[in-house]
Amino acid sequence: MPRPRRSEQTREALITAGIDQISMHGYHGTGIKQILDIVNVPKGSFYNFFSSKEAFVAELIKEYSRTVQTQLNDYQLNQGATLSPVEQLRDIYKFGVQEFANSQFQKSCLIGALAADIGAESALCQQALKKAMTEWQDVFTKLFEQAQQAGELRTDVSALQLSSVYWSTWEGSLLKMKVTGDAQAASDTMEMMLSIFFKAA
Amino acid sequence: MPRPRRSEQTREALITAGIDQISMHGYHGTGIKQILDIVNVPKGSFYNFFSSKEAFVAELIKEYSRTVQTQLNDYQLNQGATLSPVEQLRDIYKFGVQEFANSQFQKSCLIGALAADIGAESALCQQALKKAMTEWQDVFTKLFEQAQQAGELRTDVSALQLSSVYWSTWEGSLLKMKVTGDAQAASDTMEMMLSIFFKAA
């Protein structure tokens, strides 16, 4: 039997506020109360949906990853459809940089933020983070493969390795951007990856 | 007049415990009480040394950066003295990966950990983080310059840009390693930067 609509809305509101707050303040910097106040939900209700803060955050990671997957998928079917793989990769990093810049650099990638502060502490979150990283990587590995096949990127390194290095550089750039507020530097770094370091000889 | 030795020792013990705890649990995940308990110091005494948690953490960042600078300097004067610039860069990333692996991936780079969870929140810490990043970057830019002059690394990108990208990739690799516990993958990523992507044509 499907859950009543109202309850589903509350759950979604908790998740949205949770992603928002935790991508700004991290796991330890975000209290459940903070989220309940934003959504205007009593504490008891929270525990109808999630057994603990840890379980809640693991759910946020899943939901965040699902949203990113959907956005990437939609992009590839629409604006990206007529672009080359590297042009798509460029659009995607630019979109990401812009999104975090729009938050005055307060927000960052939820996966990176949580990896830093709970990555090694909670087995439940760790599992969810690993899965999210793999999901991200799968999409990008495909794009890197296509770019290699199109002759845009070097082929002496596997698409999987390109995508793995790219993830690290991306997350590190976001960390730096959070401190410096320098969106251009983050874009420059990602652009160098695509148009210099990963470029086909 | 120099401060009495005992008080200096207490301050150092607070700083050491602070770096330790915060590189594991982040800013919000570490309480001052936790640190006081480790060092066995009463709360009042803490505020003789530091006016607030924020001021304390800014001091930790400075101290951590100073320690890293000293380690890098000692390394270059000793084991590194007879090695090529790229061999030195390789030694340094291997040392870093090993150090964090030895902590069962609980610890990470203090700068990266704090960038993630306080980088955009505290102006005082943000300033200290920026300065630490610049200090790190200065050492590495010099090494990248030397590597370029020695013909080991590509020269179509400035040493400063190589060092900037390298920092991002390094911090992102540490984030990933914290979640996956995979030290080899972190080493592989850094090795690809040096021996493939940054390599002289």
Number of residues written out for chain B: 201
Above 60 in pLDDT, residue A16? yes
Residue B3 pLDDT: 53
B105: left (phi over 0), alpha (psi -120 to 50) or beta: left
Residues B100 and B3: their CA atoms lie apart, in Å, by: 34
Residues A53 and A119: their CA atoms lie apart, in Å, by: 15
Number of residues written out for chain A: 201
Residue B4 pLDDT: 59
Residue B106 pLDDT: 85
Query: CA-CA distances (angstroms) from residue A145 to A149, B128, B186?
Result: 6, 41, 22
Residues of A in contact with B108 (CB under 8 A): 116, 120
Name which of A172, A169, A177 is nearest A197 in CA terms: A169
SS3 B114: helix
Residue A2 pLDDT: 59
Comparison of pLDDT for B185 and B122, the residue scoring more: B185
- CB neighbours of A140 closer than 8 A, spacing ≥ 6? A89, A163, A166, A167
Neighbours of A33 (CB within 10 A): 10
Residues A9 and A95: their CA atoms lie apart, in Å, by: 28
Residues A102 and A104: their CA atoms lie apart, in Å, by: 5
Name which of A135, A145, A138 is nearest A85 in CA terms: A145
Above 90 in pLDDT, residue A93? yes
- Complex ipTM > 0.85: yes
Instruction: Please say whether the beta carbons of B161 and B144 come within 8 A.
Output: no
pLDDT averaged over every residue in chain B: 93
Note the pTM of the prediction, 2 decimals: 0.94
- CB neighbours of A6 closer than 8 A, spacing ≥ 6? none
- What is A88-124 written as a DSSP string? HHHHHHHHHHHHHHHTTT----HHHHHHHHHTTT-HH
Give tens-digit pLDDT for B58-94: 999 999 999 999 999 999 999 999 999 999 999 999 9
Mean pLDDT confidence for A43-69: 94
Most A CBs within 10 A among B197, B198, B199, hence the mutation to make, goes to: B197
Above 80 in pLDDT, residue A18? yes
Mean pLDDT confidence for A133-159: 97
A45 falls in which pLDDT band (50, 70, 90)? confident
Give tens-digit pLDDT for B97-156: 999 999 888 888 999 989 988 888 889 999 999 999 999 999 999 999 999 999 999 999
Find the residue in B nearest to A187 (Cα): B165
Tokens coding A60: 């946020």
Give tens-digit pLDDT for A96-137: 999 999 988 888 899 998 998 888 888 999 999 999 999 999
Residue A4 pLDDT: 59
Residues B12 and A123: their CA atoms lie apart, in Å, by: 33
Residue A8 pLDDT: 87
Residue B143 pLDDT: 97
Residue A15 pLDDT: 96
Any bridge partners for residue B199, and if so which?
Answer: B153
A41: left (phi over 0), alpha (psi -120 to 50) or beta: beta
Distance from CA of B122 to the nearest CA of A (A): 10
Chain A contact for B165, CB < 8 A? yes
CA diameter of chain A: 60
Neighbours of B96 (CB within 10 A): 20
Above 60 in pLDDT, residue A1? no
The full set of domain ranges for chain B reads: 54-197
Instruction: Please say whether the beta carbons of B166 and B144 come within 8 A.
Output: yes
Alpha-carbon torsion (B107, A16, A104, A83), positive or negative: positive
Give tens-digit pLDDT for B28-64: 999 999 999 999 988 888 999 999 999 999 999 999 9
Amino acid at position B144, single letter: F
CB contact under 8 A, B26 and A25: no
**CATH 1.10.357.10, domain B54-197, yes or no:** yes
CB contact under 8 A, A175 and B179: no
Q: Which residue has the tokens 């793989």?
A: A85
The CATH H-level superfamily of A53-197 is Tetracycline Repressor, domain 2 (1.10.357.10)
Q: Which of A116, A164, A181 sits opposite B112 (nearest CB)?
A: A116
